[in-house]
Amino acid sequence: MTDSPLRIGLLGASKIAPLAVIEPAAARPDVVITAVAARDPDRARAFAQQHGIPSVAADYAELVQREDVDLVYNGLPPAAHPQWSVAALQHGKMVLCEKPLTRTAAEATAMADAAARAGGVLIEAFHYRHHRVMREAVAAVRRGDIGRPRRAEAVFNVPIARTETELRWRRDLGGGALMDLGCYPLHALRSLLTAEPVVEHASARFEPDGVDAELEVKLSFGDVSARIACSMIAPRAHAALWIEGDAGRLGIVNFVAPQIGCVFTVNGETRRTDGPPSWSMSSGFGGALSRLCSPLRTRSRTWRRSQRSTRPRVEYEPRSARAGRHALVARAT
């Protein structure tokens, strides 16, 4: 096993798969994509031909049982994450599941429990967390470079056109601003701050069909006051975070995809401005694959180290189904 490559099977012929898995895997001699499955077999075959994938599974069930798959990349819509991630774990596969891991805390708990029972590896695909910029940011806060954190904010906006085929505008499939975008700011602040968040107030703009188009949440991480925001109807894309401490300030412009260019500043000093994409270990996508290769080589079980990321602590429940802006009820979990 130590000399064998990590063999990946793809659940879904998704738009994100080339960037998230296929291209980074192609840059590594110890990783290979062996099979893909999609709801539409013709689409799966076309996807396999386009990306040089040797096999097409008849359906999702076949893919998670294949002997030539060590790791299943679940790039399906969030509504399908629990069923097929758990199925893969039950068949002894490692699982890299696209974000958001699930739509509810109960689903996340069930998936984490399934990984525990199987003794398996379950990782939520927040690739940016493995990039050197984010690793350095976490280290800077924990070293005390900005003193004790007092305030924080993280925002991620992307204008997303509403079309018939755009899954992010489908509530039943797990779409919406919070699920697709807001998970990044929340995940980033949870990574940087040591306490778990408590919701103080939340509001959102809902479309007539119940999809949240934008969201703003005020949180407290212990004695740190924080704000996250996200929008699918913003005029332009924007991703940034900052933390103010009693001895300084840290900020990252484009923390979500630092490999395509970002500005990382600590106490007025710009520490990193990255250039074009790279699939090396220091990039987010390459770093995620490096982490996944480790447990395969050593047979160690690392899912517990990811448990903090995969268990959401807060769910949001609209007080009204009418379109417009409404306060939300925060439910701690």
Same domain, 14 and 92: yes
Longest dimension (CA), the chain: 58
Which CATH number covers residue 243?
Answer: 3.30.360.10
What's the pTM? 0.85
Note whether residue 220 is domain-resident: yes
Please write the tens of the pLDDT for every residue from 120-152: 999 999 989 988 899 999 999 999 999 999 999
DSSP string, 138-180: HHHHHHTTT-SEEEEEEEEE------TT-GGG-GGGT-SHIII
Whose tokens are 């408590």? That residue is 198
Does 134 fall in a domain?
A: yes
User: What is the domain range of residue 73?
Assistant: 6-125+282-301
Co-location of 83 and 184 in the same domain: no
1 within domain boundaries: no
Is position 93 annotated as part of the catalytic site? no
Interatomic CA distance for residues 216 and 74, integer angstroms: 28
Residues 78 and 115 in one domain: yes
Is 242 a residue whose pLDDT tops 90? Answer: yes
pLDDT at 311 over 90: no
Nearest Cα to Cα of residue 10 among 46, 78, 79, 60: 60
- Residue (of 54, 74, 61, 65) closest to 13 by Cα position: 74
pLDDT in tens, 55-99: 999 999 999 999 999 999 999 999 999 999 999 999 999 999 999
Q: Give the closest residue to 310 by CA, choosing from 153, 121, 152, 93.
A: 121
What gap in Å lies between CA 144 and CA 184, rounded to an integer?
23
* 14 & 33 share domain: yes
Q: Give me the amino acid identity at 322.
A: R
Do the strands 149-157 and 269-272 form a parallel or antiparallel pair, or are they unpaired? unpaired
Question: CA 188, CA 223: separation in Å to the nearest integer?
Answer: 17
Q: So what's the pLDDT on residue 273?
A: 66
Please tell me the least confidently modeled range out of 179-183, 207-211, 279-283: 279-283
The reply to whether 260 and 154 lie within a common domain is yes
Residue whose structure tokens are 């012929």: 13
Do 62 and 190 fall within a single domain? no
Residue 306 belongs to some domain of the structure: no
The amino acid at residue 326 is H
Using CA of residue 300, residue 301, residue 303, residue 304, what is the dihedral sign?
Answer: negative
Residue 31 shares a structural domain with residue 82 = yes
pLDDT of residue 312: 39
Do 183 and 247 share a domain, yes or no? Answer: yes
User: What was the pLDDT predicted at 97?
Assistant: 95
- Residue 243: CB partners within 8 Å, gap ≥ 6? 141, 146, 149, 151, 152, 192, 193, 249, 250, 251
Catalytic hit among 15, 93, 99, 218: 99
Number of domains in the chain: 2
Place of tokens 């740190």: 224
Q: What is the mean pLDDT of the chain?
A: 85
154 near 188, Cβ under 8 Å?
A: yes
Rounded distance between C-alpha atoms, residue 17 and residue 56, angstroms: 15
Has residue 326 been placed in a domain? Answer: yes
In a domain, 307, yes or no: no
Q: 54 burial class (0-12, 13-18, 19+ CB within 10 angstroms)? A: exposed
pLDDT band at 194 (very low <50, low <70, confident <90, very high): confident
Same domain, 14 and 72: yes
Which stretch of DSSP H or E encloses residue 72?
Answer: strand 71-74
Whether residue 262 sits in one domain with residue 148: yes
In total, the chain counts a number of residues equal to: 333
Nearest one of 168, 176, 164, 270 to 230, comparing CA atoms: 176
Q: What is the model's pLDDT at position 165?
A: 87
For residues 104 and 70, membership in a common domain is answered with yes
- Residue 255 inside a domain? The answer is yes
Same domain for 202 and 78, yes or no, is no
The CATH number of whichever domain residue 96 belongs to comes to: 3.40.50.720
User: 256-294, pLDDT tens digit by residue?
Assistant: 988 888 999 999 999 766 565 544 444 556 666 676 666
